[in-house]
Amino acid sequence: MQIIKNIEEMQAFRSEMRGSVGFVPTMGALHRGHLSLIRRAREENDHVVVSIFVNPTQFLPGEDFERYPRREEADRNICERAGVDVLFVPEAASVYHDDEVTLKAPPYLGYVLEGHRRPGHFDGVVQVVMKLFNLVRPTRAYFGKKDAQQLCILQKMVEDLFVPVEIVPVDTVREEDGLALSSRNVYLSPEERTRALGVSRSLKRASRLVMAGELDTETIKVAMRETMREIDTIEYIEIVDRGFRPLKRVEIGNTIILVAVKVGRTRLIDNLWI
């Protein structure tokens, strides 16, 4: 596995690569969720590039940029074992420039729900992902469905800006008890972790209701809220279409149920695609 820290080296290495390139952009602290993205990229491409870059521009003031878990050596071993060809670990100073041209997330999709709670977050995401796409020039890029809004925004970014990259959505990986894997789960105490299970349980409840024929979104949201009684703060439960417009009735094949909560000081998101 080639480890590249330098932008020019990445560009030079890429120009020598022939065949398809699968790309998995990450912020490190890799877990089985990332591994499933890497495996999928490995299956579908001649080469696999993983980037690790804790992108400062997508964190708001007061968020966890400084304490975001950084585990370089463990991440390197995971990538090596998973058959990654290139691990790209650029420095922030070389990725960003003074007074630079910036992209903005879509005015609606980028500023509702997660974008409303974290204004500007998705501007930082599109900016860095576009830069990484231009450096890695992937054939396909792999993103988890757990970050549903990020995935939909990036899908829209490549469509709107005619970026020749196929965005591949990959299912959320869960612990056996249902907790969706996230690099931020390490912040949970054992007691908080137990209470956090209310989130995946509420989504299971929603799924059962829909399977039983209940399509009224208010009824589903009330049932979900009940299941999350032990959660400290429910920031939102929303049932939206793929464009993130709220739905009155679930549309099979076009619905995402989204939850954002706080357990202790830890913010968690999860969702269900229907």
Catalytic residue numbers, as ranges:
34
Q: Considering the rule CB under 6 A, would residue 227 count as an interface residue with ligand PAF?
A: no
If 0-12 CB within 10 Å is exposed, 13-18 middle and 19+ buried, where does residue 15 land?
exposed
* Complex with ligand PAF: residue 144 or 198, whichever CB lies closer: 144
Question: Residue 240: what residue type?
Answer: V
CB hemisphere CA count around 142 (13 angstroms): 25
Q: 167-195: string of b/e by CB count within 10 Å (b at 16+)?
A: bbebebbeeeeebbbbbebebbeeebbeb
- Of the two residues 155 and 207, which places its CB atom closer to ligand PAF in the complex? 155
Shortest Å distance, C-beta 58 to ligand PAF: 6
Tokens matching residue 24? 């998995």
Q: Nearest approach, Cβ of 215 to ligand PAF (angstroms)?
A: 31
CB 141 within 8 A of CB 167: yes
Residue 170 interacts with ligand PAF (CB under 6 A): yes or no: no
Judged by CB under 6 A, the chain residues 11 through 70 that form the site for ligand PAF are: 25-27, 55, 58
Candidates 95, 129, 130, 188: give the one binding ligand PAF (CB under 6 A). Answer: 129
Question: How many residues are there in the chain?
Answer: 274
Q: Confirm or reject binding of residue 10 to ligand PAF (CB under 6 A).
A: no
Residues 135-154 within binding reach of ligand PAF (CB under 6 A): 147, 150
Tell whether residue 163 is a contact of ligand PAF (CB under 6 A): no
Residues within the interface to ligand PAF (CB under 6 A)? 25-27, 55, 58, 125, 128-129, 147, 150
